[in-house]
Amino acid sequence: MTKKDIINIFLGTFLMAVGICSFFDPHGLIIGGASGLSILLSEVFKRIFGEGLPLWLLFSVINIPLFGAGFRVLGFSSLRRSFFAATLLSAMIWAADFLPPVESDLPIAAVFGGFIEGIGLGLVLRSGSTTGGSDLLAMILTKYIPGLSLSTLILATDCAIIALGFPVFGSINVFYAVVSAYITSKVIDLSLTGAGYTKAVYIISDKWEDISEKIMNEFERGVTTLKGRGEYTKDEKNVILCVIPKKQLAGLKKMVSDADKRAFFIITEAAEVAGEGFSDKK
């Protein structure tokens, strides 16, 4: 993990914690993931016992079994960055809980909370990490439900968590939680790769065989090898082509850079993708 990655994770988890503690929790906004489920459970405990449990504690309790299963199914090496990010986010939530809540109405809280959360999560994802929760659960489920893509499982999990908030916080809060989740998603898009959800990636490297194998095994994405030739050197080149969702792009770039520092990248918009691993339109 580079110094830049560590800085991104620290700054990203801090911004996420501010969004959770200063905007989402005080206004009853559940945007999915382990943090959203923590807000929901804290409110349920408050209504039953008169006092809610700390968000950092609930966040940790939710993630512990997920990472336990993740290490078993996916391996420690693929999740060590995410474990570090999730642990740090739990500490940041504990620290941010001392900040005063932002006094505003629901629309303002949804917009600003979603914007801050998107910037923070975008920084974490750029380091090749996640913060556990629905992302990690979806990664585990893809091993057992190969017919569904990672993005579809993440969306389904987040929607289920948001829906659970309906009987607790009401329809208005659920509506603005959806608005906030949408804003978060768009800010992540812009932070990582621009506006598009999927990207077509061309990679030119002398280590194309090793990179191709890792893309197929670690990212579970298909790879096409194209034949090319460098006109300056007249050398034959193998060009890797793959289409990948935004949440995997930062990890892909990190993997290729580690495999070959001299690898050449071209990343373009994939306006519409159809076929195995993707829905009819992204």
- Residues 187-202 pLDDT 10s: 876 776 554 457 788 9
What CATH number is given for 198-269 in this structure?
A: 3.30.70.120
pLDDT at 38: 93
Q: How far is CA 243 from the centre of its chain?
A: 17
C-alpha span between 185 and 275 (Å, rounded): 23
Does 79 score more than 80 pLDDT? yes
Is a pLDDT exceeding 90 seen at residue 116?
A: yes
Provide the angle, in degrees to the nearest 10, between the axes of the packed helices 106-126 and 171-192: 30
Q: What is the pLDDT of residue 150?
A: 63
What percent of the chain has a predicted confidence (pLDDT) above 90?
A: 31
Locate the domains of the chain by residue range.
Answer: 3-192, 198-269
pTM of the predicted model, to two decimals? 0.69
pLDDT at 266 over 80: yes
C-alpha span between 282 and 269 (Å, rounded): 11
- Whether the CB-CB separation of 12 and 127 falls below 8 Å is answered with yes
**Tens digits of residue pLDDT in 150-184:** 667 777 888 888 899 999 999 999 999 999 988 88
Q: Report the distance separating Cα 21 and Cα 42, nearest Å.
A: 12
